[in-house]
Amino acid sequence: MKATKRQQTWAELNRDMVYTLADAVDALRPFCSKKFDESLEIAVRLGIDVTKADQNIRGMLSLPNGTGKTVRVAVFTVNSADEAQKAGADVVGGEDLIERVAGGEINFDRVIATPDMMPKMSKIARILGPKGLMPNPKLGTVTNNVADAVKTAKAGQIEYRAEKNGIIHAGLGKMSFTTEQLVENANALIEQLKKVKPASAKGQYILGASVATTQGPGLKIDVK
């Protein structure tokens, strides 16, 4: 495919260079769209084998400066509906909400459920699961304390998950953030990944990383 005029300007960047994160962010800024606030995404390649259960890294992390995105939260509950709504949940319901989702209505980005709802949610597990929306006790999205869970999700919590080849993809915030804020968010993620390093993972753990804006080029970064 022929490169667009915008892509042709990327030739000004040294794509082979390994940048500090701050330098990479500053280098990418001139290439951001003027039409919308692009996000900064990071990809971290880990020396793990995701086919082994104990190396299948997954978790939640509250970024110190949030994500800059509006997160629509759905809460599946009966007894905690008022609590969820007061905390700012966008969609709240019980079996009625399950039926709506089964019918194709998905107008949320994060799902929280009370434990009593989980057996009933098996009906929509095949719908929510592939989208990464199925609540999970290990991620704190199955809880009776729905107010705190909703507030945390709204405040800028992200999910990190090792994909094929051990790569973690995550959003670090908007390019309207200061460079310092984006660096702080990235450092929080890197430190979290270090904390959850599987004991069975041998050799070098963090193999490499890169950052890119929503519609921009990727640059290699040093995360040591």
Per-residue pLDDT, averaged over 16-36, amounts to 90
Q: How many angstroms from the chain centroid is the CA of residue 136?
A: 15
The reported pLDDT for the residue numbered 12 is 65
| Residue 7 located in a structural domain | no
Q: Which domain holds residue 82?
A: 73-154
Per-residue pLDDT, averaged over 36-41, amounts to 94
Asked which of 154, 183, 200 is the last residue of a domain, the reply is 154
Q: Is the pLDDT of residue 33 over 90?
A: no
Per-residue pLDDT, averaged over 48-72, amounts to 91
Where helices occur in 58-94 by DSSP H, the ranges are 81-87
In a shared domain, residues 131 and 185: no
Asked which of 127, 154, 181 is the last residue of a domain, the reply is 154
Per-residue pLDDT, averaged over 10-36, amounts to 85
| Residue 16 located in a structural domain | yes
Output the CA torsion 103→107→113→118 (10° steps): 20
Cβ atoms within 10 Å, residue 131: 10
Q: Mean pLDDT across the chain, nearest whole number?
A: 91
pLDDT digits (tens, 9 = 90+) for 88-101: 999 999 999 999 99
The one-letter amino acid code at 129 reads G
The lowest-confidence range among 7-16, 23-32, 139-148 is 7-16
Q: Is the pLDDT of residue 155 over 90?
A: no
Judge whether 146 and 83 are in contact, CB under 8 Å. Answer: yes
| Residue 2 located in a structural domain | no
Share of the chain above pLDDT 90, in %: 73
The reported pLDDT for the residue numbered 156 is 83
In a shared domain, residues 78 and 147: yes
How many domains, the chain?
2
What CATH number did the domain enclosing 88 receive? 3.40.50.790
What's the pTM?
0.80
